[in-house]
Amino acid sequence: MSTVVLHNVVSLDGYVAKLDDDPGPLFDWYFNGDRPLSAQDMADPEPGGLRISQTSYDYVRPMWDSIGSTVIGRHLFDITNGWEGKPPAGDHVVVVSHRPKPEGWHPEASYHFVDDVTAAIATARELAGDRTVAVAAGDVGGQALALGLVDEVAMDVAPVVLGTGKPFFGPVDGQHLLEDPHVIIQGDRVLHLRFKVRR
């Protein structure tokens, strides 16, 4: 059965973006290395492509390759335009939304619109098979954690304090215990951490 991982880049004070959705310097580490992150970048490097340190590559590339489906909220879908139907990782995207997929939007893309977080995780697990389900941190990710649907929390911690912004765990108002981190990797301007959720 698939593992459900709540994941995102996060500031030291717990935010995934500023209030205006600008990530600020949170993603700087994606561009400060000499190892292209994607196979396409390796074959045909482009200026501005994702290039990270070898240490981060050795963690991120296998993690991304393990993803079968990703669960996101409608807001992230809207601000990225669903990455034009090409998920950054995995083969399928499940969007939690009360609105349907925009008419005529990339009909070939494996994007599924579900109006409930529990149903979205179930759909993503079915689509992922034995591969990982990644849940984008923020409101939807926090709801999934609060519902007991998350197995692990993965954080790429950037050394920045944003002061205010969109919280990693959304509006979670209860206590949730995690195990000690089983992954601690120091990259260049990022610390990769991974925790199992205590049951």
Please write the tens of the pLDDT for every residue from 99-141. Answer: 999 999 999 999 999 999 999 999 999 999 999 999 999 999 9
Give the CATH number for residue 87.
3.40.430.10
State residue 41's pLDDT score. Answer: 46
State residue 111's pLDDT score. Answer: 97
State residue 39's pLDDT score. Answer: 55
- For the chain, which ranges sit under pLDDT 70? 39-48
Domain count, the chain: 1
State residue 47's pLDDT score. Answer: 54
- Contacts (Cβ under 8 Å, ≥6 apart) of 31: 48, 50, 51, 52
Q: Which domain holds residue 84?
A: 4-196
Residue in 109, 110, 135, 105 with CA at minimum distance from that of residue 122: 135
- Contacts (Cβ under 8 Å, ≥6 apart) of 103: none
In total, the chain counts a number of residues equal to 199
State residue 28's pLDDT score. Answer: 96
Residue 107: both structure tokens together: 């009909």
Q: What is the pTM of this model?
A: 0.93
The dihedral through the CA atoms of 154, 157, 163, 164 has a sign that is: negative
